[in-house]
Amino acid sequence: MRRAWFVGGGAHTALGTDLAAAVGAFDQLSEPVRVPLQYGDATDEIPYRLLADRPLERLEERLYEVLAGVIERALDEAAISADERLRMGLFLGSSSADVSVSEARFRRELAETDDAIALIASNSIANLALHLRRRFGLRGPDYSFNTACTASANALVTASDMIARGRLDNALVVGVELFNVVTAAGFQSLGLLAPGNMRPFDRDRDGLTPGEGCSALVLSARQRSPDDLYLRGAATLCDTYSMSTTNPDGSTVATVIERAIERACVPSSEIAAIKVHGTASLHSDEAEAAGMQAVFDRVPPIFALKPHIGHTLGACGLNELLLFRAAAAQGVLPGTPGIASPERSDSGLALNQRNRAIDPGHFMLNYFGFGGNNTSLIVSNVD
């Protein structure tokens, strides 16, 4: 089968829009901002990692403008022509899609009339996909994914498979998650939010910090550079253990990791590093640690990206992949200084602390979603 090469990317996260520059920020951790949530006459504040240089203003246009920016950067880097777009597939992954736009419209209408109805407009990830098809002249097949935290990772897997099987020559994969009250209030009501930074695998972990992120990745059957990454193997698996988490004994995590390794035709001993899902919640961290320890005789170096950009939910698959792609291009394994250091880990697994050099190789990126959908990717920049 053909390979699906990662040939163009764009992302906008709490670290900004310059992916190459974001790599340098991994050696330090900033504090999340606090966003006010109003409930009737009461106001609460929650920590959030918002898009850099893009305040919560003009919310009816903000989603479309941010998405347009990241997609244009991805298409430009990949040098995709207008003619190629006519046959290009679109694969969109998100948890909240355009809910932020509907909320903004409701607030505007409520200021104009007491008869305004919340979220009366049709919210649909398919509507967002249709907007992108029209905006960028995409005429190939399109698919939308809403599988919680694995949504854009599963979009990537499907797009790669269609290219490998010769059904497409090029594909655009998009992940999007922007601040909205429904999501923020939902996580707060579940008691899952940390008061500050996320600390996965750390003895002082106290929950997750939500984050915003939009990203786009162009896949192609044609390699552009000898250093291009590609998806070598992947697996996705549903776990019905719980409505909110995978089995904490790690059995499902271990199975999906083993299947990804088998499909990649790479011995587990050749995995150079693992990007953990790392939500800093007790059961999720326990399951992920147990799963890795069950598969690997010696767990490879592990690193986390959510402490830097927050948990970007359905978009985290693509946001974190693109940040890793930028780091790999510079030969860097990202660090999280002070979080889950060897003396602070409560699982026997310590996170890489500072940016350090890595060689080309095979890398695992894991995503274990709310509701029990689990995806493991193996990406490579070697044969």
The CATH superfamily of 5-380 is Thiolase/Chalcone synthase (3.40.47.10)
pLDDT surpassing 90 at residue 50: yes
- Per-residue burial over 55-94, b if 16 or more Cβ lie within 10 Å, else e, is ebeebeebbeebbbbbbebbbebbebeeebbeebbbbbbb
pLDDT of residue 122: 63
Q: Where are the alpha helices (DSSP H) in the chain?
A: 19-24, 59-78, 82-85, 99-112, 125-136, 151-164, 181-189, 251-264, 282-295, 306-309, 316-329
245/176: higher pLDDT: 176
**Pairing relationship of beta strands 271-275 and 362-368 according to DSSP bridges:** parallel
Q: pLDDT tens digits, residue range 194-215? A: 999 999 999 999 999 999 999 9
Question: Mean pLDDT, to the nearest integer, of 16-28?
Answer: 96
pLDDT surpassing 80 at residue 96: yes
Q: pLDDT tens digits, residue range 216-264? A: 999 999 999 999 999 999 999 998 887 777 888 999 999 999 999 999 9
- Quote the CA–CA distance of 41 and 143 in Å, as a whole number: 41
Question: Mean pLDDT, to the nearest integer, of 84-100?
Answer: 96
Question: Mean pLDDT, to the nearest integer, of 155-173?
Answer: 98
Q: What share of the chain is helix, strand, coil (3-state, %, to 5)?
A: 35, 25, 40
pLDDT of residue 344: 95
Using alpha carbons, list the distances in angstroms from residue 237 to 143, 248, 264, 355: 19, 15, 16, 32
Radius of gyration of the chain (CA): 20
Residue 287's closest CA among 210, 197, 347, 206? 347
pTM of the model: 0.96
The overall average pLDDT reported for the chain is 94
pLDDT of residue 121: 62
43/229: higher pLDDT: 229
Please give the share of the chain, as a percent, with pLDDT higher than 90: 82
Q: pLDDT tens digits, residue range 67-79? A: 999 999 999 999 9
Instruction: Band the pLDDT of 1: cuts 50, 70, 90.
Output: confident
Question: Mean pLDDT, to the nearest integer, of 316-323?
Answer: 98
pLDDT of residue 371: 74
124/71: higher pLDDT: 71
pLDDT surpassing 70 at residue 123: no
